[in-house]
Amino acid sequence: MKFLGSLVTTLMFTAIYVAATVAGRVTVMDGTNLSMVWPAAGVAAAWFCARRSTRWVWMDVLALVAVTVVVNLATGASPAMAVVFVVANLTQIAVFVSLLARWRPRLWGAGGTEPLSRLGDLWALLAAAVVSTGCGAGLGSLGMWLLTDAYAASTTAVWLARNTASVLLIGVAGLRLGYLISQRSRRPGRRDTDTGGSAARVTARLSWRRAGEYAALIACSVAAYAAGFGYTKGLPLAFALIAVTVWAGVRLSTSFVIVHDLLLGTAAVLFTLHGTGPFAAIDSHPIRALIAQLFVAVVAVVGLALALGRDERAELIAELAAGKEAASRHAALMTTVIDAMADGLAVVDKSGHVVLRNPAASALLGGITSPEDRVTGSDHYGLFHLDGTPIADADLPYAQAMDGRQTHGGDILVRNVGVPDGRVLRFTATALPDEGGTRQAVVLFHDVTAERRHRDELASFAGVVAHDLLNPLTTVDGWSEAAADALQASPPHETVTEATECLTRVRRAAARMRGLINDLLAYTTARDATVAAAPVDLGSVVADIAIARTDAATAAGRRPPLFSIQDL
């Protein structure tokens, strides 16, 4: 904010504070310099909450000091007493602003941008008001005692009650008004989302019935306070006046409740100051002021607690409804995704109850479903091992997962009336986290019949090819042996020696080729048979690899590598 704008704001608050200070000093109790009411406390709270972030706040401090000194001197206070009031007021303001910023930094006036909208906000503000006014009352009472050499506990009590009530009425109203103004200036044309809203917007949104309720409450409030304070005939009717506050807090907007509390509290104080109402019968001026201020504070707290509690409840209900709607949309999306899956999915609990199953699960099992949604024996579904032997119930995928045995990629043959030709399904079962004692397993499976058929065809083809390769390989071995015999019968010569070495490498390569072909034939024969562990001579395997690398380097005309092979 620029200096000129800040100066205008300071002057505006100063004018309001002058009026509030003068109004408070008019109510000075007989024989003391203590006012029965002090609206300036609420004005100062709103003033410095609104100005807490500006760099020109020193102007506001100077203005408050000047007004406090001038008004108190003009209304009969001594200069020393005026200084005491300045120190007490500044202390109260500093403590209130600091505590509110510490406890509720998200609120407008405390460093944030949100309005007073929750019960926790009210209790934090009330605590800040009580602590800050307690500090101010303590310093003020101490100063008055030092100056007058007289101290009365009632003086401190009245100071504490009147300033707290002022903060709860005027301070809260100022904070709400400041929030509404900031929202309007920050987002011009934006509809007010505050629960209370401005009076014009609230009235525009209301139906005739709602507007009638506002009018009825206003009329009842005027009548109730006129009767309770103006025509009592000695009857203590103050307790009944809380009914209109309860009505407003339960039914009407929070902004209206704040204004309603402010007006009713002002009316109660004015009636008491003029000597009418249930509190005017109290002879002691300090006690009369104390009781009146406590009544005003109770009215403010009750109205705000009901209104903010209702707003908070409405917000929670709206969040709950939004969460429920989001959960419903998410559940519908998940259901659609699961139902659209080509893979089968089922969730089974520890008792065998099928919690969830998608259409693909039934289709892959040939339309055979669990009776009463409970898993039965494997013979009901026609589940077999790939070799045709029935699967034991304890070896079903979900049962293995329940027992802690993870099943990943196990193939099962399904053959029943729905799938007379048989179908191979690959199952994966995983136990879900045990929450609340409900243990479940999720089972996924998909059709691998075509995949296995293709693999079997490839294996068969590989077996045929491997078998066919044995004939030319035998021919190579035979002619190599014949050539070696012929070279052996030849006279020694360098060329004969080189040819003999080449034939040796050919025969070693043929031996390796024969081993590969034999392994391929063995695989095509065994395939899905149980794997049996067998010892392997690692020394011969490594030696064969070294020889192959040496032969390859020699054939390519490169220097043969050197190997150092230890015992394996």
**Residue 123: CB atoms within 10 Å:** 15
Residues near 171 by beta carbon (within 8 Å), at least 6 away in sequence? 41, 42, 43, 45, 46, 49, 125, 129
Q: What is the DSSP secondary structure assignment for residue 239, as one 8-state letter? A: G
pLDDT > 80? residue 236: no
pLDDT > 50? residue 196: no
Burial class (CB in 10 A: 0-12, 13-18, 19+), 401: buried
Residue 50's nearest CA partner among 200, 134, 173 is: 173
Lowest mean pLDDT among 388-392, 411-415, 470-474: 470-474
The whole-number pLDDT of residue 32 equals 59
Query: How far from 416 is each of 110, 179, 423, CA to CA, in Å?
Result: 74, 73, 9
pLDDT > 70? residue 188: no
Residues near 527 by beta carbon (within 8 Å), at least 6 away in sequence? 456, 459
Q: Give the rounded percent of residues in the chain with a pLDDT score beyond 70.
A: 91
Name the pLDDT band for 205 (thresholds 50, 70, 90): low
CATH no. of 344-447: 3.30.450.20
Tell me the one-letter amino acid at 377: G
The whole-number pLDDT of residue 309 equals 94
The predicted model gives 53-81 an average pLDDT of: 90
pLDDT > 90? residue 543: no
Do residues 45 and 169 touch, judged by C-beta distance below 8 A?
no
Distance CA 32, CA 395 (A): 95
Write out the DSSP string of 449-507: HHHHHHHHHHHHHHHHHHHHHHHHHHHHHHHHHHHHHHHHHSPP-HHHHHHHHHHHHHH
Quote the pTM value. 0.67
∠ CA 373-379-385, nearest 5°, is 115
Strand partners, 431: 441
The predicted model gives 430-443 an average pLDDT of: 81
Summarised one tens digit per residue, pLDDT across range 282-298 is 888 788 888 888 999 99
The whole-number pLDDT of residue 473 equals 76
Strand partners, 114: 107
The whole-number pLDDT of residue 191 equals 44
pLDDT > 60? residue 373: yes
Three-class secondary structure of residue 182 per DSSP = helix
Strands in 284-382 per DSSP E: 344-349, 354-357
Tell which wins on pLDDT, 11 or 281: 11
Summarised one tens digit per residue, pLDDT across range 97-133 is 999 999 999 999 998 999 998 999 999 999 999 999 9
Distance CA 221, CA 257 (A): 12
Phi and psi of 254, rounded to 5°? -65, -40
Phi and psi of 314, rounded to 5°? -65, -40
Distance CA 91, CA 111 (A): 20
Residues near 209 by beta carbon (within 8 Å), at least 6 away in sequence? none
Q: Where in the chain is the domain with CATH 3.30.450.20?
A: 344-447
